[in-house]
Structure 1
Amino acid sequence: MTKPLPPRNDRHKSSGGFSLIELMIAITLGLMIMTGLVTIFVKNSQARTEIERNNRQLESGRYAMNLLTEDLRMAGYFSSFNPDELVISVNAPPLGPNSAPVTPAMTARPDPCDTTVANLNNTYFFHVQGYDYPYTSAALPTCISDVRTGSDVLVIRRLATCVAGPTLEAGCDALPNGAPYFQASNCFQATELARNTGSRLDYLSHFVLNTDITLATLRTISCLTSFGAPAPAADYRRYLTHIYFVANNNVGSDGIPTLKRAELGAGGYTIVPLVEGIETIQFEYGIGNTANSAKIDAYTADPNTYNACASTACLLNWLHTYSVKVNLLARNVEQSPGWTDNKVYALGLKADGSANVFPASGTYGDRYKRHAYNAVVRLDNPSGRVTP
């Protein structure tokens, strides 16, 4: 039989703990793990920040394009009034020969910053007009400033889609006191349509465009009630003029290129910042010169010089614009570390037919990421009025 071993007595044995070398190894391994975790965290944070930059840039470009295209689709909306019948297609005043109510006839693009009632009455039917770069600062509308070099300017004229009166439509903002409004007559009696000159051909008798709301007295299609009294006043809507441009700065001198819009209101124009990070907007206008047709014969960046036009012929180019090509370049508001922009961006054609590239020479060579957007917009109101 095996003799059992005596019990161990460890009472007097002390614990040795970790040696210095073991501690140093543990600390080193901990630091290595911590460094790896910090590196992963930093890279994930940088990647998330870059994704956010890209998302903001994409969203800004899409939003800017949506603003421009939606407003262009509404260009030339004048309720039930058709300016083509009384002014454009018949070359009548103020486009036509010198005669009442406008003398002399128009020979140049209207000034979109002139807010007098007389100017509004004689220019509202220019549904779009533009200023193609290169231009001089003196040629630009005086109600905008800080315009970015190389970018175009676009003017859109139309009515609000909702009724401001006599009964305010649900969801429609009330007409500000002193803001211009437009009321089209739906009554075909001579006493209404010939009230100014005695002629139904006087286009000014067919509508009221004014800032004095007491003059909104044109009537509905019934003209008279069943009792022979004047019918209720026709609806009127707010008259809108929007001037789109790219400014060098959003606020102060922050250096952030921004799409802005000058809006006509009571007392003049107000500049409204719309979208940060828009570097340039470029436009080409689709002109149709075929009678009773909205067929596009040519696109040009500047209808004011197209086909060596002069005087009224240039004005008709604008009035016969039935579509617009929109090109814009959006960039990040913040720079992307490690990125260099070596791209060249094609934004349509210049007025002379050559490629419109940005930058004009070389590349930007900076750390801003950019994206180009383009769209073709049919101007439904002016084109629809001439389509059989």
Structure 2
Amino acid sequence: MGTRLPTLATRGRRAMRGLTLIEFMIAIVLGMILVAAIATLIANQSANRAELDRAGKMLENGRYAVQTMAEDLMMAGYWGELSAAPGTATAMPDPCSTTIAGAGNLQEGTALHVQGYNAPVTLPTNLAVCVKNHKPGTDILVVRHVDPDTSAVEKTSGCTAPYSPCVDWSKLKVGQVYLQTGLNSSGTALGWALATADGSTDSTTFAKVRKDKTTGATPRKLVVHIYYIAKCSVEVSNSCTDGDNGNPIPTLKRVDLGVTSNAPAMQSPITIAEGIENMQFDFNRYTDTDKPAAADVDGSALTFANWADVKSMKIYLVARGTEKAPGFTDTKTYVMGTAGAASAPSGDEGYRRHLFIQSIRLINPSGRGT
């Protein structure tokens, strides 16, 4: 009897029987390898994006910090129409003072358009009044001028032509210190008045006038800014020990002269930029022949008698990331002018850093040659 050939139905059943166990296991392994590869790719892309975000934030904070100070320094020594500061220093000014007259107070302070403190480890007693949680070893800078924008105290209606806008005495802020520059009532001499607005006698306290000898000259707000690096961004009970959720972030802050309870007062520090770890300033004095000195100085040897000679300066600023970069160790050194080289503090080598250097000409005092 011959061999029985498989029927059509039998051949169909064999062709439709599907994958074997080995084929199924191979497919699973290949799928897992593919999924693992995709997951690794996504994880790497996520890590790279996070690192780019950290680096971008660090650079943005550093640039903003330098730009903020540079723009303020370009206004340093601006006193309206005056060609010289309204005060003459007889002592080193107290940056935290809110008293107008007297040695070392606001009026005399105008003689120093900039004033620096070279890397103090412990703050001077007077400066510690308004500067809180300063990071030891970093510089402090004081900038003084008047506000060029007077729109907050002016009006456009009821002004004498062509002096529009003109001062609106009701808009002066009680307790704010203003500098008014203008002519005396007879129009024979240019003068100034530095006083605190009281809301009732301001039009007589600030009696300087414009060229028509009648229209009151507009007072300008006196600006005193103190820049420094704080040990943290957000304090806890006025301390940085537990600040920033236990991971203190060095932060550039600024203290401003303002008003509290209708009286002049240095305000609470405001944050300029987080992640600013080190800041040093170098200054250059111009000689009697109006030439720059041969070398920059750190300001430690300058006195109340020669700070006014400073016409240009340099900012050296190290910005660091607010978060550590996984697998990164900072072994660089950063040249900080006369302060020498700086490197990552012990234990903080895991943060990326960038050095910013900015040269600034102090336009107002250098333009006047005074």
TM-score by length of 2: 0.81
Greater mean deviation of Cα atoms: 206-215 or 318-327: 206-215
SS at match of 2:9: coil
Q: Deviations over 1:77-107 (max 9, x none)?
A: 11001225x76xxxxxx44xxxxxxxxxx1x
Deviation at 1:22, TM superposition (A): 0.9
Aligned to 2:141: 154
Counterpart CA distance in 2 for 1:125 and 1:222 is 30
Deviation at 1:177, TM superposition (A): 2.9
Counterpart CA distance in 2 for 1:217 and 1:187 is 7
Question: Does the aligned pair in 1 maintain the 2:193–2:208 contact within 8 Å?
Answer: yes
Counterpart CA distance in 1 for 2:348 and 2:99 is 47
Counterpart CA distance in 2 for 1:285 and 1:139 is 24
Within the candidate set 318, 323, 341, 2:312 is matched to 323
Deviation at 1:139, TM superposition (A): 4.8
Stretches of structure 2 lacking an aligned partner (at least 5 in a row)? 157-164, 236-242
Deviation at 1:209, TM superposition (A): 3.4
Deviation at 1:262, TM superposition (A): 0.2
Aligned to 1:101: none
Equivalences for residues 178-257 of structure 1 within 5 A: 178-187=175-184, 189=186, 206-212=192-198, 214=202, 215-223=205-213, 231-252=214-235, 253-254=243-244, 255-257=248-250
Matched, 1:300 2:304: no
Matched, 1:287 2:257: no
Equivalences for residues 1-12 of structure 1 within 5 A: 9-10=8-9
Deviation at 1:294, TM superposition (A): 5.7
Aligned to 1:131: 117
SS at match of 1:10: helix
Counterpart CA distance in 1 for 2:334 and 2:273 is 20
Q: Deviations over 1:345-372 (max 9, x none)?
A: 111013xxxxx21139x87762100000
Question: Does the aligned pair in 1 maintain the 2:185–2:208 contact within 8 Å?
Answer: no
Deviation at 1:298, TM superposition (A): 3.9
Matched, 1:359 2:343: yes
Aligned to 2:162: none
TM-score by length of 1: 0.78
Equivalences for residues 1-388 of structure 1 within 5 A: 9-10=8-9, 13-14=12-13, 15-83=16-84, 94-95=88-89, 106=90, 108-118=91-101, 119-139=105-125, 141=127, 142-163=129-150, 164-167=152-155, 175-187=172-184, 189=186, 206-212=192-198, 214=202, 215-223=205-213, 231-252=214-235, 253-254=243-244, 255-267=248-260, 268-270=265-267, 271-290=269-288, 293=290, 295-302=292-299, 304-306=300-302, 314-350=303-339, 356-359=340-343, 366-386=349-369
SS at match of 1:138: coil
Counterpart CA distance in 2 for 1:69 and 1:77 is 14
Q: Alpha carbons of 1:256 and 1:140: their partners in 2 closer, same or farther (altered >3 Å)?
A: farther
Q: Would you say how many aligned residue pairs link Structure 1 and Structure 2?
A: 328
Identity of matched residues, %: 34
Q: Deviations over 1:261-293 (max 9, x none)?
A: 0011013122111100000110011111315x2
Deviation at 1:208, TM superposition (A): 2.9
Alignment-mate amino acid for residue 159 of structure 1:
V
Aligned to 1:353: none
Q: Deviations over 1:242-275 (max 9, x none)?
A: 0000000000212001000001101312211110
Alignment-mate amino acid for residue 127 of structure 1:
H
Question: Does the aligned pair in 1 maintain the 2:312–2:359 contact within 8 Å?
Answer: yes
Q: CA RMSD in A?
A: 2.7
Counterpart CA distance in 1 for 2:84 and 2:19 is 96
Question: Does the aligned pair in 1 maintain the 2:193–2:206 contact within 8 Å?
Answer: no
Deviation at 1:305, TM superposition (A): 1.4
Counterpart CA distance in 2 for 1:120 and 1:134 is 23
Aligned to 1:202: none
Aligned to 1:100: none
Question: Does the aligned pair in 1 maintain the 2:173–2:197 contact within 8 Å?
Answer: no
